[in-house]
Amino acid sequence: MWNFQPSVNLVKGGAGYVGGPTMAVIADHCPNLQITVDDSNRDNIKQWNSPSIKNLPFFETGLEEIILRVRNKNLYFSSNVNETIINSDMIFLCVNTSKKNKGFGVGQASDLKWVESCARQVSSYSKGHTFVIEKSTLPVRTAESIKTILNSSNLVEKNHKTFSVLSNPEFLSEGPAINDFNKPDRVLIGVEEKKPIEALENIILKWIPNQKIIKTNLWSIELSKLTANAFLAQRISSINSIAEFCKSTGGNMGEVVNAIGTDQRIGADFLSACLGFRGSCFKKDISNLVCLSIHFVLSEVAEYWNCVIKLNEWQKLRISKLIVHNLFGTLRGKSITILGFAFKANTNDTIQSAAIDISKNLLEEGANLIIHDPKVSEDQIFSELAIKLRKLKNIQDSNTYKGAGIKENNLNKSFVNVYEILILTEWGIYKKINWKTVEKIIRKRCWFFDIRSIVDLKEIKNTNLNFWKIGDGIIKS
Ligand code: UGA
């Protein structure tokens, strides 16, 4: 029986959406384990250790309560990565894998520099036998590279170090992450040899029944994670393509979604038409599949998955154009309210959020943006939209004709005198807006774009608003 002291090793920017909540939940279920979450980014660790629970680096429902229960009891946050490795029996790699921004495979292949540097650190500083667990979504056969790197240090043979590499990908989605992790549909564990599975399995069994644990070889697991995300993303691109001609053929989007979603073989999830899928996962994972297809000289397969991404980009562009078109092709000096900046509701993550692209397009056309989001900070919005905007705050730049933007925390104030209102994130508070009241402070015949399809038509019917809804097009003008 091994005496585990698992530790999660997060290198640069990794103490985030997978590592933080995952280790917090494990610590909560396994009080006998001592867990350290490491990140070389000191600011990040400072936030995790902040005495004020409101300063955690990101918002996730239920996370604060867990952190209050386990922090400094059996869960620690540290930036002393090497020391943590020395003291760990089990190391979870939850590192960042963005796409390569230069060199071969630029824009498509995953950049594995953090995985590699992390594996090298483990190779140098570990002691005895160490379980290394892939948690990040990685290209297929990354575990093989990790193994090679782990065994490459001169100290390995000299100090009799050994390693078992396992894959245990995360299926949690941001927002309901804690719930996803507590009650997953299934847990996947991939390994080359049978024995090391027990080590991880014994931890997971503390709160997940045995029948939910699926064990396969490493490569099936790596491929399954990519495939799951690719299938979900493909559904969104498919429904977005149908949304485009629903109205013109006389179909009703809600009725079509209900009709096909109630077919058990298809199911109701991931059928909400929208600006397209955003976030850090789907595009990256489909790009990984494209790379894999190219590697195996399957150009048709590469083209197929590439189309899912292309359709996603097309959706964003077509809606940006529509927003401009409805204000007579010019936005110069016109105020537009943007409701929601996060990539989806219940998270403050803005990574690849559609709001960034839409805002940039509208600013380019000279619009004044009034941006509201309940969880995304002003600093975050301005850094996503480029630093220059900070200087332009509230001022129209007459030389470049570029628009300006402000973050407005008061929802009612964000509607004063505006020409257009766009819902870009499906936050609950936007569902409760009283449009009769809003009507009094907006401009007459203001356009309202419900790009998340969350507003009840009945609420809009008796107002002066021109109304456009995703999938249904112009409903009222
Ligand atoms: C996704 C997967 O859902 C998780 O299972 C997976 O673990 C995670 O990626 C990952 O690989 O780490 P996440 O990116 O947090 O999770 O968010 P989703 O809820 O899947 O949403 C992704 C995007 O699709 C969002 O922009 C969302 O607004 C959009 N979406 C989702 C739609 O446009 N329509 C839908 O019906 C559902």
CATH number at residue 306: 1.10.1040.10
**Residue 168 lies in domain:** 6-216
Virtual torsion, Cα 324, 330, 334, 335, nearest 10 deg: 10
Q: Is residue 212 part of a domain?
A: yes
- Written as six digits, the tokens of 353 are 């959020």
How confident is the model at residue 136, as a pLDDT? 80
Are residues 211 and 239 located together in one domain of the fold? no
How confident is the model at residue 1, as a pLDDT? 37
The active-site residue out of 135, 161, 225, 283 is 225
Give the chain's length.
Answer: 477
CA of 277 to the centre of ligand 1 (A): 7
Which band of pLDDT confidence, cut at 50, 70 and 90, is reported for residue 424?
Answer: very high
pLDDT digits (tens, 9 = 90+) for 319-362: 999 999 988 898 888 999 999 999 999 999 998 899 999 998 99
- Whose Cα sits closest to atom 30 in ligand 1? 277
Please indicate whether residue 170 is annotated as part of the active site.
yes
Between CA 113 and CA 104 the distance in angstroms is: 14
Rg over alpha carbons for the chain, rounded to the nearest Å, is 24
Of 216, 243, 266, the residue at which a domain comes to its end is 216
Q: Is the pLDDT of residue 446 over 50?
A: yes
Rounded to two decimals, the pTM is: 0.89
Q: Is residue 315 part of a domain?
A: no
How confident is the model at residue 105, as a pLDDT? 67
Domains contained in the chain, number: 3
Are residues 254 and 334 located together in one domain of the fold? no
366: phi > 0 → left, psi -120 to 50 → alpha, else beta; which? left
The count of other CB atoms within 10 Å of the CB of residue 210 is 8
Tell me which of 134, 242, 281, 289 to substitute to probe ligand 1's pocket, judged by most ligand atoms within 8 Å of the beta carbon: 281
How confident is the model at residue 389, as a pLDDT? 55
- Whose Cα sits closest to atom 11 in ligand 1? 281
Q: Is the pLDDT of residue 156 over 70?
A: yes
How confident is the model at residue 8, as a pLDDT? 53
For the chain, how long is the longest CA-to-CA vector?
79
Are residues 142 and 30 located together in one domain of the fold? yes
Q: Is the pLDDT of residue 373 over 50?
A: yes
Please indicate whether residue 118 is annotated as part of the active site.
no
Q: Is residue 221 part of a domain?
A: no
Percent of the chain with pLDDT over 90: 56
Q: Is the pLDDT of residue 273 over 50?
A: yes
Q: Is the pLDDT of residue 366 over 90?
A: no
Are residues 132 and 27 located together in one domain of the fold? yes
The active-site residue out of 281, 283, 284, 408 is 281
Percent of the chain with pLDDT over 70: 90
Are residues 189 and 333 located together in one domain of the fold? no
pLDDT digits (tens, 9 = 90+) for 171-191: 988 889 999 999 999 999 998
Which band of pLDDT confidence, cut at 50, 70 and 90, is reported for residue 395?
Answer: very low
How confident is the model at residue 262, as a pLDDT? 98
Of 284, 310, 336, the residue at which a domain comes to its end is 310
The set of protein residues with a Cβ atom below 6 angstroms from ligand 1 is 137, 170-174, 229, 232, 236, 270-272, 274, 277-279, 281-282, 343-344
Please indicate whether residue 194 is annotated as part of the active site.
no
Are residues 52 and 31 located together in one domain of the fold? yes
The active-site residue out of 170, 222, 384, 408 is 170
